[in-house]
Chains A and B, each alone.
Chain A
Amino acid sequence: MANSNLYKGSLTTIILKLLSEHDKMYGYEITQKVKALTKGELKITEGALYPSLHKLEAEGLLDVEVAKVDNRLRKYYKLTEKGTTETVHKLSELEQYIATLQSLINPKLSY
């Protein structure tokens, strides 16, 4: 498993990105999706996922709906209009950060 400290700051971007690709998702589904996409390299812990989801909901970036599935209630999250705009912004920020790191790790030396 990758060092979890390295992705901590990117957790909200990961959640927003996943939700932008799906109509709606629930908490457990998000953890499993990340695990599958990264082939188990990245595991979102429950203790980090729900606080992030609740924070995004309070900021008005996510909307919630509840449905009865089997014999229990399931809470789904989906992006609001504000959330969709913020996803684009956050992704561009992250890409910029990755590019900066790349230039530090593999500097292209010119003579």
Chain B
Amino acid sequence: MALTQEHIENLYAFTRKHFVEYYDLQTELVDHMANDIEAIMVKNPHSTFEETRDASFKKFGIFGFMEVVEQRQKAMSKIYMKLLWNYVKDWFRLPQIILTTAIFGILYTVFSTEIGSYVFIVSYLILCLFLFIRTISINREIKRKRKAKEKLWLLEDIIYGNASIGTLILGPQVFQLINLTDSFSGFMPLICASVFTVILIYTYISAVILPKNATFHLQETYPEYAL
């Protein structure tokens, strides 16, 4: 017996009820359970859809879909890291490498002046403010999608999550950095210019480029995205 559209909708709701938020994984699990339910129903034609559905779910073990969800998150994080790494590699090619060297040069020159420590703190605060505003706009978008019950994609969540994580990491460091103003001499301008250049590149890739190209990467990763 082939399952009806209504049964398929029921299975999607069933996966959501069992903490599978993301459409890509829901689709795979729905097809798996549908195949299994159809096979069970051939053997036991008198059993109801709900009975066979529950019997099929039991085959996933006592933790249900939890293990599959956790491992999927790990696998998708690996895909995200690959994307990030590819962008970083691209960044260290011409002409970006000239831009990177120029940024470092300007930062080092400015940080080496008498007011270098204050310029560093102000630049850092501007970066934190930018990340904070970006985080708010990303969170609004995620909330809107969830409220509208749009399809959720794990890779998209990872991209957006990593775009806003910088605020949590960089924000609290401001107070530590203020103490640096008294000892901003010797190698400090060089160290700060190097670290700040790296942070700028990472922020630009993770919080600007990757979210901007998210749709392209989602289409590339999920064949069902375009359907």
Contact = CB atoms under 8 A, between A and B. Distances in A.
Interface residues of A, number: 24
A65 B28 CA distance: 12
B67 A66 contact: no
A58 interface: yes
Nearest to A63: B223
A75 B75 contact: no
A104 B8 CA distance: 51
A59 B81 CA distance: 11
Given A28-B36, A75-B28, A58 B227 contact: no
Contact of A70 (B2, B67, B82, B227): B2
B59 A46 contact: yes
Nearest to A52: B71
B4 interface: yes
A59 B77 CA distance: 11
A8 B215 CA distance: 36
A54 B3 contact: no
A47 interface: yes
Interface string B194-211: 000000000000000000
13 contacts: A45-B61, A50-B32, A51-B72, A54-B72, A57-B75, A69-B31, A70-B2, A71-B2, A71-B8, A73-B30, A73-B227, A74-B31, A75-B224
